[in-house]
Structure 1
Amino acid sequence: MSYNSPKDNREFIERLKASGDLVTVNQEVDWDLEMGAIVRRVCEGQLSAPYFKKITDYPEFEAFGAPMATYRRLAIAMGLDAATPIPEIANTYVQRTKEKPIDPVIIEASEAPCKANILTGDDANLLHLPGPMVHDGDGGRYLATWHFVVSKDPDTQAINWGMYRMMVFDEKTMVGPVLPFSDMGKMFYGKYVPRNEPMPFAAVLSADPISSLAACAPSPIPEDQLAGMLRGEPVELVKCETCDLYVPAHSEIIIEGEVIPNVMIEEAPFGEYTGYRTSPREKRTVYRVKTITYRNDPIMMVSNMGVPTDEGQLLRSFSLGLEMHKLLESQGIPITGVYMLPESTHHLVVVGVKPAYTGIASQIANLIFGSKLSPWFHMVVVVDEKTDIYSKDEVIHALSTKCHPVRGIHKYDNQVGTPLNPYASPAERRMSQGAKVLFDCLFPLDWPASDLPLKVAFSTNYPQHIQEKVLSNWENYGYGQ
């Protein structure tokens, strides 16, 4: 059963145009900072996605910025109405990912739009692609800002799609960090580097929106199957030109090559999803390019990481939170919801729960801090089932009034972190070391009912018939709906 998600970015662009979520920019824009500045301002203002028709020095290309930096655009990508509320989007994701995995289908190269143009040898030149200078002060041009890298375990043949930043070094070389705890890092450092073997890769630039969403999700389901589940139909893949990897056939641009073991080149700095530039210029992993394929009239996707909210924060928050939801639910925890605030740069997660027993907040924290998701966040706020986890006002109120400053705050030292955490010391960043904290916003179960503070609000302090009377007369009072 198809969920009517856009098959490619061209269809996605048309739907955004129809919903009023796209601005077509006909004026020529420069790849050197101007395009990045426009996309950054769009993200910070939560504005419509910019579709750039003319790029300086690159007449063959167009560009599409901030593709999924709002929940409206995420809803459209999932085949839903743009105005779908966040809880409904989340519930839709959870329900779809509970269905049977959907294997991809392989199509012939002659049928794959991404094979319309094939560049090899000297023609496979990264500088022929409009990689933007995203932020002033970046270490170089970052060609891959909204993309994913396809890699394969040489022993198990397991496939990984993951987003790993890549800076252009020269015509044939990209460089970027591959963290050892990431899925691709485990393959590369655990299998290829000890054997001194290059690892084939395919960088997928501007895939369809659902494949990009699947690549962001820390799901145990293989990403090509997960994309099918989210679409409700198989994703069409096509074999690469130079290796035994398969990529979404309706992508705009594919870069094929090898990740080179035991060779490092300096990369960074780069403005990151945390809203800071925390990565020093250091030697990092090297990608050597063999072949570039692309569609006719290719469209380059441009994301711009920085202060909230952009798609890196929104989609990672969305998928991380829902994977936590499934983890806690699988352990029988009576949760009522999980929401990771994008505005926190996916560092803060709010868990709603029915406080059925003492210590449930600590159990929740221990479960998710001990999961593979834990490097990407460090704050957990546990609230009761009466708190709307999607309302920042209610979460702040609960945190400020129900969390005891001593008994309610639990610190966890010497935990796994990432080199991008702004709060971490330089030594902690180098070691990917972090710290965690739990804010327990549940009133203790042993308090007598007569001693429980009573919340004062329209929904709790007035009889139902009074609430209904007031609501039914709201416009008569002179207020809008």
Structure 2
Amino acid sequence: MSSHPDFNAAEQASALPDLERFELRRFAAALGEAEFEHHAGPVELADVARLLEGNPKAVIFDRPSGAGDAAPFALCGNLAGSRSRLAAAFDTTSENLLQEVLKRLRRKASIHQVTREAAPVQQVVLTGDDCDFTRLPVHLQHGLDGAPYISSSIDFVIDKNTGWTNVGVRRLMLRGRRTAGIDLIAPSDLRAIYLEHANRGERLPIAFAVGTHPIDHVAATMRLPTDELELLASLRGAPLGVVKCVTNDLMVPADAQFILEGYLDENGHVEPEGPYGEFLGYYGGVKRNPLFHLTAITHRRDPVFQTSTISGRDMAYTDTAQLCALRTEVTVWRALEVAVREVKAVYASAANGGMFNIRVSLQQRVPGEARNAIAAVFACLANVKHVFVVDPDIDIFSDDQMDWALATRFQADRDLVLQDRMRAMPLDPSLAGSHHTAKAGFDLTLPFLRPGMNRSIEHRVPAAPVFDGARFESLQAALEHGPKLFAELMAAVGSRDGREVVRWLEDTGATRAITRDDEGRYLFA
């Protein structure tokens, strides 16, 4: 790991990172009852998926049990399955989550190598026959899945071309005590790294962390050209402690619950993997994929294993949809920063998997910026299909306000932007075999106004009256001063009723003409 300038064990011995600050149990324990569910008694592994599916809370099972489990490991799930829990992980609110992530991405944090004696994740080391997938609480997640899956594993490999550590999220399908299938079909850095090794007939050393803080999962979903250990440290906003694996030379988070060490064999995409409930809410079929060989399991003395919810009808409550949504927002924001002037907010709905439908709040400075924003979002991610751009007065986190904007500010023949034959995300079941997708942009902004212009009353949004106008000795003095709205007349004399204003208008109008202008203001003729 010489490519890391921070990797100097001698210099850093006196600057040891806090190896418990991002510990998984600590994060779970800090969640309130509204976010956290605890099962202290035995729960059979066959029941875990049912108890997690559609559950809005994070869950910990103290005793997930099965045949032959004398002392089962604890199991947690749904930890990243809500935006509020991701926000809690970053010590912020749901509305400010994206900005907090962007802020941390602009900062650099240090990486510190710690000794094996100091690393909590290597308190217990299992190799040989003791190294066994089937001793872990890995459960069947969906009815048609090909086998139990490890679904919450973060992978670490070295890209020899750059010397950087590549970090991602991959599932592992149990094939035996020390073998598992890995999904490497979709384009990714790990796929490219693996194919280079396989083409040379070489094994690829790899390690998987299981049981990590939600921030680490957010980092693992990002696609940025950097050493991704540094990315993980930046998002934590704190020094990252890493430790060298027992059976290979990879550096992994020293504070994880489990590390699964091993290698991807050189045989290529040859082993059947799947079916599996995918992150779009549908099954993926059987594919040919590489095989992972387990060489060691290391873990804390009292660890908690982790599972992620992936698929089903309740996508908004799954770990993957929430993580994908945040990753999508980061990518979209960065694209919009160079495409338009004043982006106010970006939101990717988790209900569709976190990547297909994007909402953008934008202050237009020149005509056409809403369409420029749509084009930029189309291009920045293959997965995006629908983009909704609104004015800043619309709360993009509100389904009700978005529905209202679509109904009242959109004309399909004028405001719909269509683009066909764009790169597709192959798992999208609506493609029906096509390799291309169509994308639609919805310009839900009001007509552009140049500086100094006011909107017509038909485009103004009603709100409760605020009686903060100027005070006058009488209603007559108020109207002699100039045209007044009814609320301004009430404010003029401190009325908290308004009916006496109606009576005055009627009585005065009988002897002196009172008219109204196009804005609805009262004035003496």
TM-score range, shorter chain: 0.7 to 0.9
1:95 aligns with 2:95: no
* Equivalent residue number for residue 148 of structure 2: 141
User: Which amino acid in structure 2 is aligned with residue 362 of structure 1?
Assistant: R
Are 2:19 and 2:254, in contact at CA under 8 Å, matched by a contact in 1? no
Kindly report which structure 2 residues correspond to 1:19-30, keeping only aligned pairs within 5 A, or say none.
Answer: 20-30=34-44
User: Which amino acid in structure 2 is aligned with residue 216 of structure 1?
Assistant: T
Moved more, 346-355 or 168-177: 168-177
* Equivalent residue number for residue 407 of structure 2: 400
* Equivalent residue number for residue 154 of structure 1: 160
Residue 331 of structure 1: how far off its partner (Å): 4.3
TM-score by length of 2: 0.79
* Equivalent residue number for residue 291 of structure 2: 286
Matched position secondary structure for 1:407: helix
Kindly report which structure 2 residues correspond to 1:220-259, keeping only aligned pairs within 5 A, or say none.
Answer: 220-259=225-264
User: Which amino acid in structure 2 is aligned with residue 350 of structure 1?
Assistant: R
Q: Which runs of 5+ in 2 are unaligned?
A: 1-16, 470-486, 497-525
Distance 2:361 2:411 in 1: 18
Distance 1:404 1:50 in 2: 45
For the aligned residue pairs, the C-alpha RMSD in angstroms reads 2.7
CA deviation vs aligned residue, 1:288-314 (integer Å, no higher than 9, x gap): 222221221221112221222212111
Residue 386 of structure 1: how far off its partner (Å): 1.9
Change (3 A) 1:370 1:30: same
Moved more, 232-241 or 450-459: 450-459
Aligned residue pairs total 447
User: Which amino acid in structure 2 is aligned with residue 184 of structure 1?
Assistant: L
Distance 1:392 1:402 in 2: 15
Are 1:8 and 1:209, in contact at CA under 8 Å, matched by a contact in 2? no
1:110 aligns with 2:110: no
User: Which amino acid in structure 2 is aligned with residue 367 of structure 1?
Assistant: A
* Equivalent residue number for residue 334 of structure 1: 342
Residue 36 of structure 1: how far off its partner (Å): 0.8
Kindly report which structure 2 residues correspond to 1:309-348, keeping only aligned pairs within 5 A, or say none.
Answer: 309=316, 310-346=318-354, 347-348=356-357
Residue 20 of structure 1: how far off its partner (Å): 4.9
Are 2:126 and 2:298, in contact at CA under 8 Å, matched by a contact in 1? yes
Change (3 A) 1:173 1:419: farther
Residue 319 of structure 1: how far off its partner (Å): 2.7
Change (3 A) 1:222 1:384: farther
Distance 1:407 1:239 in 2: 59
Are 2:209 and 2:258, in contact at CA under 8 Å, matched by a contact in 1? yes
Kindly report which structure 2 residues correspond to 1:309-388, keeping only aligned pairs within 5 A, or say none.
Answer: 309=316, 310-346=318-354, 347-371=356-380, 374-388=381-395
Change (3 A) 1:294 1:340: same
Query: Taking every aligned residue pair, what percent have the same amino acid on both sides?
Result: 24
* Equivalent residue number for residue 438 of structure 2: 435
Matched position secondary structure for 1:406: helix
Change (3 A) 1:254 1:222: same
User: Which amino acid in structure 1 is aligned with residue 43 of structure 2?
Assistant: V
Find the structure with the greater CA-based Rg.
2
Distance 2:324 2:390 in 1: 22
Change (3 A) 1:225 1:280: same
* Equivalent residue number for residue 514 of structure 2: none
User: Which amino acid in structure 2 is aligned with residue 402 of structure 1?
Assistant: R
Kindly report which structure 2 residues correspond to 1:27-42, keeping only aligned pairs within 5 A, or say none.
Answer: 27-32=41-46, 34-42=47-55
* Equivalent residue number for residue 478 of structure 1: none
* Equivalent residue number for residue 476 of structure 1: none
Distance 1:3 1:361 in 2: 45
Are 2:340 and 2:369, in contact at CA under 8 Å, matched by a contact in 1? no
Residue 132 of structure 1: how far off its partner (Å): 0.8
Residue 186 of structure 1: how far off its partner (Å): 2.7
User: Which amino acid in structure 2 is aligned with residue 314 of structure 1?
Assistant: Q
Task: Choose the corresponding residue for 2:221, options 216, 219, 229.
Answer: 216
Matched position secondary structure for 2:84: helix
* Equivalent residue number for residue 423 of structure 1: 430
Distance 2:22 2:188 in 1: 28
User: Which amino acid in structure 1 is aligned with residue 26 of structure 2?
Assistant: E
1:8 aligns with 2:23: yes
Change (3 A) 1:28 1:88: same
Are 2:65 and 2:72, in contact at CA under 8 Å, matched by a contact in 1? no
Distance 1:435 1:49 in 2: 36
1:74 aligns with 2:86: yes
Change (3 A) 1:127 1:336: same
Residue 422 of structure 1: how far off its partner (Å): 2.5
Matched position secondary structure for 2:27: helix
Q: Which runs of 5+ in 1 are unaligned?
A: 474-481
Change (3 A) 1:181 1:283: closer
